[in-house]
Structure 1
Amino acid sequence: MTAQAEGLAPVRDYVNLRLGASSGSKRLEMCLELSPLEALSVEACGTGSEILHHENSPELAHFRAKYTLTQWKTEVGWLQPRLGLGFTELQVGADDAGFKFFGVGPRGVETAGPEASLGIRGLYPLGSYFDLVGELSFSMAWLKYAPQLVTPQSQLQPAVSFTLGGGF
């Protein structure tokens, strides 16, 4: 058994896929995270509305870079506080191609804007470099044009999400 599998060495997570719930959407949220550097990752989270279920319910999709501030070993694995910066897309109807940062698009169903997040991630090593991943995060997006959507929304879009999954 490796030192990482025994929980002695910090967990190095390169890729993970998590599923869970978010206050920003009414469906299952999926997050894919890639970590090219140990402390830095890029992440995309959403419901997959254009691929999986084709429902036009309101959805917040998040695209962000995340920075791991530090990590602490606990009895059940590692805890990592994290900061994130990126952007959010809010859609209230069928998604059009691209992101609308300076308006709501021709049909008035989507807009995008900056987002910041704060979260805590837990990693539990399973051995052979695989791990269980859980994350609780809070994000706040500012969507200047959200009141102009066909279903008007607030410019400030807070979201709390909890996701669980696996990675290596």
Structure 2
Amino acid sequence: MNEVEKPQVPLSPRTTSKPVPKLPKKPASKPSTPKPASPRTTSPKSQSNPYLAHNIKCETKLRDKCKGATCNRHKCPAFCLHKKGQVWGTGTYDAQSSICRAAIHAGVIGNGGGLVDVTRTDKSPFFVRSTKNGVESLRRKSYTGVLKNGVQSESKRNTEGGSFRLFAVKM
């Protein structure tokens, strides 16, 4: 030991005593009649989804919902027929289309909602306009842009993302 170090003193073992729990006083009990068991209902939030579907809104677009993720099955709510989500195409739909309204247009689900399977496809060069099942779809042509001063322009209407097809899910 040198002059800077302090001598080490052994520590005494620590002892702690446990507090004695105090029991609350019990009130005088009265004989009670058992309550009838009520049937248990589960809330919608606690129900499990056996179909592994994403719950979406009527206006949800495939492009917005599934950025880089694999999401093939969606659960559309009821009453999407007259909502404002737009649809481009017939049979094959643009990724900017409302998933639920495109499903109604394709006849995969009705206005009561339901489960929809989505299959991604390559970008279609054009989308055909039609009115089916009360939903009007819009047409869209492919636009490659203009090459000017060595810069390739891109139209805002020509979107990235591709297209999709819809299929019904049998329950």
Name the TM-score class by shorter chain. under 0.3
Q: Point out the structure with the larger strand share.
A: 1
Q: What is the TM-score normalised by the length of structure 1?
A: 0.23
TM-score (norm: length of structure 2): 0.23
- Greater Rg over alpha carbons, structure: 2
